[in-house]
Structure 1
Amino acid sequence: MRGTIKANILDFTAQQLKQIENHGLTLKQVENQLQTFMEGIPFINLTDCATIENGILQISDDKKQTYIKLYNSKLDDIEVIKFVPASGAATRMFKSLYRFLDTYNPSKESINAFINKTKDNTLKLFFVGLEKFPFYEAILQQLKKTCPNYNSLSDDDKKVCIVECLLGETGLNYGNLPKGLVPFHKYKEHTASAFAEHLFEASKYAAPNKKAHLHFTISNNHYNKFKSEYDRIKDIVSNKTDTTFITTESYQKKSTDTVAVNLDNTPFIDDDGNLVFRPGGHGALIENLNEQDADIIFIKNIDNVVTYQYEEDVANYKKMLGGLLLEQRQTSFKFLEMLDENANPTEEFIHEIVYFLQDNFNNILSEDFEKFSLKYQIEYLREQLDKPIRVCGMVKNEGEPGGGPFWVKHESGKISLQIVESVQINKEDPRQLSCLNDATHFNPVDIVCSVRNYKGEKFDLLKYVDYKAGFINQKTINGQDIKALERPGLWNGSMAHWNTIFVEVPLSTFNPVKTVVDLLKESHQISN
């Protein structure tokens, strides 16, 4: 398939116009996407990295217990949802093993020689820790069907059979599963998927009156697999946790897809004359999040789970973040209600709100605020208070990939705290690069949200998106270089205009499984 260059990028065929319509998009939206490619997306303007005492709270043990107690005292009187982005396939998790199957030639070298040549430490660790993986027994059982002469093979041939069994369509086919359904943990009597562990974890902190509501964003072609897993485990998890689970799911909307372009910014057209659309990234999920309505929404990625031994510790930090959110929300609501009751507040009361916004939400107000009339000061403060709130856990930076907390200057001149991805930063600018290198923390996607206003009405979250904070990445389609547009990230530009609090949490709360050998880490192994 080769892309062709159109003379006029807006000169679409009837077939392509039908495609656009079927995606739930308008011609104007596609034109705007193409215009974005042509103009480019400006880099974020960092003014400083957020650190302890400079945008990131460090909470004492005593204060932590206070917030946990507050959260526990309010839990049965509020609605809570745990929101889990779970559409990712496990393919990338097994990237090293796929590469091994594609490039290893047993007639030319041993596996050890291959590992030494490629310096593939992931592959080395996979074979060294093979018996510790939660799916090891499943592989052995499957090998009886797919490789009946397994026991007579050489050690290298056995290893090849194991990887083929793990990933092949006639074997376990784990690479084509959603990551959430891959076995992550091996207990005495059973294995547990990441999906199952999210249910167990939710029972610890997101189950008012012993009812836990979880919402998973999944791929629509994986719905039956998730349903089958839920049907298999729901009674087991309910009985063990004394919790009733309500799970719902949604799909990333086709209308959030973006058109792919050639490197010269003209639409990429396949051999059948079709436009090629690509998913708009996790930022598209702001629409899914916008459909959830609760007092508090916890956001956590599907692969960030732990075994039962560590769940209590993780849950306590979730409660701490939730308690802090409830405290700040209560104060915000109180101020808004008082502004409703008093059309002529005192200067002292105005300053009290200003200090609250500055000290708690790091909200840097307009330089001209003191020059505003009283009426406009009230309108301005109301606008600053009456927003969705997010409390984001931040862990110390130990080289993990992902977004980080920074102070950002917007086009309007306003400075605010934001979670920024490295792709948004101009690394050719020494000042920006210095800011990036000085960062002490990164975002593990450990977020607690308040999405209702002080009257109990749900905010329209789409009104708080910075639509200019997307990304343009270079990708390939069948070997041809193309450019892809991603929407503002869910916890980046999609939440750019929320009231934000960053809080340090320990690295023990962040245990993602990005590669298969991450399952060998202590937090994913059962201690005897």
Structure 2
Amino acid sequence: MNSEVLFSDKDKAQIERQGLSVDQVMEQIQIFREGAAPLKLNRPCTLHDGIRVIGEEEGKALETLHDEEARAGRMLKFVPASGAASRMFKDWYWIMAKGIEEYTETGSKIDFLKEIKDILLGDLKKYAFFEDLKAVVAEGGQNLDELMKKGEIRTILSSILTADGMNYGQLPKALLKFHKSPEGSRAAIEEHLVEAALYAKDAGGRCRLHFTVSVEHEKAVAEFLKQKAAVYEKRLDASFDLSLSVQHAYTDTLAVDMNGLPFRNPDGTLVFRPGGHGALLENLNLLDGDIIFIKNIDNVVPDSLKSVTVLYKKILGGYLIKLQKVIFAYAAQLAAGGVSEKELGRIVEFCKKDLCLSFPADFPEKPLSVRCEQVFQKLNRPLRVCGVVRNVGEPGGGPFWVEDEDGALSLQIVEEAQINPNSESQRTLWKTATHFNPVDLVCGVRDYSSQKFDLKQFINRKAIFIARKTEKGRELQALELPGLWNGAMADWNTVFVEVPLETFNPVKTVNDLLRPQHQ
């Protein structure tokens, strides 16, 4: 079926306003029809087999190396912060809407009802937003302590979640109060400012951070940062260079119905949906960056636990710099020409040993000049050093050796949705993963001549996700672009380094804020 049959002139005008071409949308439709191409796992990465372990002495040297380059102004922190807080409060929304009796309608109802009330009300004072809640309730002419004594849970939750109170249900996760501190409670985004000042500050005190936010929250986040930046600049002897961006409309993808035809609104217009976190590669690519740290908005800790996080940020950064120095020297040597067999052998050994790169079976038989060019192409790519933690059952991807179509192996962060669900052997390999991806990345996005890479040239465009969704009761298929740290970085040089579990402290539900590391 061609585009002339599928799309009217009105559709084409809408596609153009979206920043896309008809050809691009037709490619998306073709992907739906062909289905996603699963990755082929060879084996999980394990300690000393794809995952590096950094000893104490090496760690100290890497920390020093990081600090030298940080002072030179090479560091930037990139934080995906568009997540809405509503998902954190799923259970609280249910209780607020239905009442705690319906929420606990199964099991030993009376005992469980009392337990839920005791836990929720007993823990309320532990949350960093408790004092704000108290003030909001007082503004409404009520007393929070009295409401708690009476067990008025739905009223309390309404004061937390709705626009009549703190409106936490509609705020971005970035602006929620996560932790208490001597100076007052801190929102998640404030913890990122404090953390960045401890490892990304240059010799003049400049500290660069970039946050990706949703369109509806951009103004609120910008105003919050403007208000808070001066406070932390004085406290941390830093000068924050802050920037925001939103997910670009042209990274949205067309939704289709269950027959693979364009999904439409009741008024006949086409439905486009956000392309997932892989769309943020465009935001990353547009930054004037050099060494870029990537970390999710909800993975932060109070000051009392920051030392381990900061240490391993510096170790990851130092390891990237250490590798870059060798890569840049070899790439420049290959670009200049005149590399001997002996010299090329040394470079190939580095590629295999330090970057876990593999070469085609017929590589040794090719002329020297061809081999030099192939090795140069392998080295002249973006580099990422990824912290990985021991697998403790958290949902998400992990580090694997992946087998390409030509049999070559590469290191990849793989999500479960990327493997063949019908292959027993692949599912078994997936379950044997020893480590997990906490989204703790350091990225080198410039080449040996300090030129920025075009990151869009290093995507595995087949590594897409197709998900079933519903919109107003109608089923549709949604296409997610190759994930930011999955397919979007598939052709980068990748190195995995084990980091302590203490560096991974995500907040996926409001109850996670009660964990010891957030108290």
TM-score clears 0.5: yes
Matched positions, count: 518
Contact 2:222–2:244 under 8 Å retained in 1: no
1:126-525 paired onto structure 2 within 5 Å: 126-146=120-140, 148=142, 155=149, 157-209=151-203, 210-341=205-336, 343-525=337-519
Question: In structure 1, how many angstroms separate the alpha carbons of the residues matched to 2:260 and 2:150?
Answer: 47
The one-letter amino acid of 1:67's match is L
Distance change >3 Å, CA 149–CA 247, structure 1 → 2: closer
**1:73 maps to which of 21, 46, 68:** 68
Cα distance in structure 2, aligned partners of 1:498 and 1:7: 35
Deviations 1:243-275 (A, max 9, x none): 100000111010000111112222111111111
Q: Is the 8 A contact 1:146 1:165 kept in 2?
A: no
Deviates more, 1:131-140 or 1:487-496: 131-140
Q: Which string of whole-angstrom CA distances, capped at 9 and with x for unpartnered residues, describes residues 267-310 of structure 1?
A: 11111111111100000011110012232100011111111111
Report the Cα distance in structure 1 between the residues aligned to 2:380 and 2:145, rounded to whole angstroms: 67
Residue deviations 1:156-196 (CA, integer Å, cap 9, x gap): 65211111111112111111101001111112341111111
Distance in 2 (CA, whole Å) between partners of 1:269 and 1:7 is 18
Q: Tell me what 1:3 maps to.
A: none
Q: Return the alpha-carbon distance in structure 2 between the equivalents of residues 280 and 501 of structure 1.
A: 26
* Structure 2, unpaired ranges of 5+: none
Q: Contact 2:38/2:420 (CA < 8 Å) preserved in 1? A: yes
Whether the aligned pair in 1 keeps the contact of 2:76 and 2:207 (CA below 8 Å) is yes
The CA deviation string for residues 396-443 of structure 1, in whole angstroms up to 9 with x for no partner, is 000111111111112343221100111112233111011111000011
Say if 1:140 and 1:289 are closer, same or farther in 2 by CA, change over 3 A: same
Amino acid at match of 1:441: H
* Structure 2: distance between partners of 1:116 and 1:478: 37
The two structures, once aligned, show a CA RMSD in angstroms of 2.4
Q: After the TM superposition, which of the residue ranges 356-365 and 418-427 deviates more from structure 2?
A: 418-427
The gaps in structure 1 that reach 5 residues or longer are 1-5
Q: Is the 8 A contact 2:162 2:170 kept in 1?
A: no
For residues 22 and 116 of structure 1, what CA distance do their matches in structure 2 show? 57
Which of 22, 28, 51 is equivalent to 1:56?
51
Q: 1:409 to 1:151 in 2, by over 3 A?
A: closer
Distance change in 2, residues 1:102/1:440 (3 Å): same
CA offset at residue 104 of structure 1? 2.2
Work out the CA distance in 1 between the residues paired with 2:37 and 2:114: 37
- TM-aligned CA distance change 1:265 to 1:115, over 3 Å: farther
In structure 2, C-alpha distance between the alignment counterparts of 1:480 and 1:409, rounded to whole Å: 38
Q: Which amino acid aligns with 1:309?
A: S
Distance 1:74 1:479, change over 3 A: same
Question: Amino acid of the residue matched to residue 434 of structure 1?
Answer: T
> In the TM superposition, what is the alpha-carbon distance from 1:389 to its structure 2 partner?
0.3
Are 2:396 and 2:436, in contact at CA under 8 Å, matched by a contact in 1? yes
Could you tell me how far 1:108 is from its partner in structure 2?
11
How far residue 154 of structure 1 moved from its aligned partner, in angstroms, is 7.7
- Shift of residue 320 of structure 1? 0.2
Which range moves more in the overlay, 473-482 or 85-94?
A: 473-482
Report SS of the residue matched to 1:377: helix
CA contact (8 A) 2:335 2:376 kept: no
Given the two structures, how large is their TM-score scaled by the length of structure 1?
Answer: 0.93
1:31 maps to which residue? 26
Over the matched positions of the two proteins, sequence identity in percent amounts to 41
Give secondary structure in 1 for the equivalent of 2:19.
coil
Tell me if the contact between 1:293 and 1:451 (Cα under 8 Å) persists in the aligned partners: no
Quote the offset at 1:78 in angstroms. 3.9
